[in-house]
Amino acid sequence: MTRVYLIRHAEAEGNIYRRAQGHYDGAVSAKGQRQIAALAERFRDERIDAVYSSDLARTRATAGAILRYHPLQLHTDARLRELYLGPWEDQPFGDLQYRDPEQLHNFNDDPAAWRVPGAESFAALTQRMRAAVTDIAARHDGQTVVCVSHGMAIRALTADILAVPSSEIALVPHGDNTAVTLLEAEGETLRVLYACDTKHLPPELSTFARQTWWRQSGAKDMNNVRFERLDPERYPRVYTDFYRRTWQDVHGDLEGFFPGVYLDAAKRHVLADPDALVCILRPDGERVGITELDTLRGAEEGLGWICLCYIEPQYRRMQLGAQLIGHAVSRFRALGRRAVRLSVYEGNTGALRFYEEYGFRTVGETEGVSTRLLVLEKEL
């Protein structure tokens, strides 16, 4: 008999940016690194004989929690990967809810009925996960192994072991980031001893503590926003009104604000890349934020620039700003950039804390229209 700890990866980009990431290779977040440290302490005194993970970055990083106190080799197995999402890969969940609510419902509440051309089926995911775990267990008969995998992959295998039909998968809980499931394996037989345990995570390290979609079947998270391109030629007032509120918010007045200058720049940015200027909308259709990218500036240095990033005040602290950052990361990574930069007024401590939370660090300074600006950079 073999004991198998199935561990979900630590919080990663898809979790904070609210984007569907199956095989998309997103990085672990700053909070994810703290979750990994907590996971390491949980397993510090456990006997572990072998460590496996999927070959994606977020699981390999999470496996480092076990390796911190156990001098073992990490084995990667692609069969432990997340469900391959095909055309859904790296799409915002808010966009998916808007474009294909029926299939998103199936994905969450009846995954065997989920049908997206070019994507992997739930049955295929379940089959490869079972094969991977039974093979690994047989390789380490009588030992204790750790397998670091992904949320849907672990849920699929758990439901299969417990004989829970797809239409009743709500009976199998979602696992928070770094949640631990313990299996016993004997030959082809797998047993669940416990599932989705997070006793090592204090509330401030829980990803799920800030989210509501997972708490009940069919739930819709009103903070999963969708993205809409904004054409500054057709809707100049929408753009300049957003920029005016941004300026007022930062400077306290409109001195030095010249809307025509910024509108002309926005037109150039959209001409270079139609996805450079987007608004975000809540499920009820309300526009609650905007971001603007400059895909030309810094291109030769492998950089991308965020020119504008604004959330309406009443919708701040709801993880909407993170989704704007996610758009920039997705777009510039697709363009092959090594980092993304932006400028922040040095006295805007709230904005500085926000960007630092999402991986930006100060790399320089520059002069703004009326104040000194800090240049922040996030590696991609």
Please give the positions annotated as active site.
9, 82
Main-chain dihedrals φ then ψ at residue 3, nearest 5 degrees: -95, 130
- Candidates 58, 66, 76, 65; CA nearest to 10 is 58
Distance CA 123, CA 21 (A): 19
Q: Please report, for residues 88, 152, 222, 302, the alpha-carbon distance to residue 83 in angstroms, rounded to integers and kept in the order given.
A: 11, 7, 25, 31
Rounded to the nearest 10 degrees, the angle between the axes of helix 57-67 and helix 30-42 is 40
* Dihedral sign computed on CA atoms, order 58, 63, 65, 68: negative
Q: Which residues pair with 6 in a beta bridge?
A: 147, 181
> Is there a contact between 321 and 311 (Cβ–Cβ < 8 Å)?
yes
Q: Which residue has the tokens 């809307």?
A: 259
Which pair of tokens denotes residue 162?
């417990």
Distance CA 37, CA 149 (A): 17
DSSP letter string over 44-90? TTS---EEEE-SSHHHHHHHHHHHTTS--PEEE-GGGSPPP-GGGTT
Length of the chain: 380
